[in-house]
Every structure is written in structure tokens, then in C-alpha cells.
Amino acid sequence: MNFLQTMGRRFGVFALLLALFLTGCNKPAPEQAVRAQLQALQAAIDARDAAAVEALLADDFIGNDGLDRRGAKRLAAGIFLRYRDVGAKLGPVAVELRGDADAVARFNLLATGGVGGLLPERGQAYRVETGWRYVDGEWKLRSAGWKAAL
């Protein structure tokens, strides 16, 4: 085997290892993944899609006053039926990692609802704390607590 063939094989092995390494690095950092899930939740609310909201929740989700996963889906569906225009605007999000598979995200939220006019008929600001768990390759919302910000 000549020098060029040896170098070509070494380069090929190096390129393969580099490609495998970079593929493994494509998984977003936990903080970024939690933020992406929050954006997906906001998109589901903006799309008025209660099933998409439910899909982001862990099986053992718990919210204010004992709200469970099914209750959260029913609550979302009820709000979507009552208000034609529903909005959720998140303020800056602070994500705190608690190990490899748990995180807490805190933020302020402006929830609005109306029947289609230029301005929302109802609006409320909340302080929100959400708990997240890494389950089967994705971050799921395991808990949510909110209270009026004013």
C-alpha cells in the first residue's frame, strides 16, 4: 500500500468518526430543548389545538388545584370554544436544570382572549412555574403552577 492510499484511508476513517461525532452533537442542550417545548406549547395555544397541548404533557401532569392531563386538555378546549382569539405571550424564560432529566422554567405570561375584535376583551398576566421531565427522548411538561401577577 502506498503513502497516498494509507493517508486516504486514514482520512476516510477520520471523516467517518467526525460525522458520527457531529451527528451525536445535534441533540439540543436541555435548556434549549425546554425552551423549544415552551414555544411548541405557545404554538399549540395559538393554533387552538387542545390535542397538541395534551401531547406536550407528561402522563402524570399536575397543575393548579389538582388539574390533571385530561383536565388540562378539557380546560384548553373550553377556552378555545369560549374565545375565538386566544393568545399567550411569554416573557423572558429562566430555565433551571435539576440533573439530566429534570428542569424548571419560570416566566411571566400574558393570556388574552376575545371574540375577534381588534383588542382582546379579556387579558390577565400570570407568574408561571413549570416543571419538565425528559421522557423517551423528549421533554414533557410534568407540572405547572400559575398565579395572577398583579
Alpha carbon 85 to its chain's center: 22
Strand residues in 4-56 grouped as ranges (E)? none
Q: Count of residues for the chain?
A: 150
Q: What is the pTM for the complete model shown?
A: 0.76
Give pairs for 39-45: CB < 8 Å, separation 24+. Answer: 41/141, 42/88, 42/90, 45/76, 45/86, 45/87, 45/88
Nearest to 141 by CA among 150, 127, 130, 149: 130
Q: Output the nine-digit C-alpha cell for 42.
A: 405557545
Per-residue pLDDT of the chain (150 residues; tens, 9 = 90+): 554 444 344 444 444 443 444 434 455 799 999 999 999 999 999 899 999 999 999 999 999 999 999 999 999 999 999 888 888 889 999 999 999 899 999 999 998 887 765 545 778 899 999 999 999 999 999 999 999 987
φ/ψ of 120, rounded to 5, equals -65, 145
pLDDT of residue 27: 56
The DSSP output letter for 115 is S
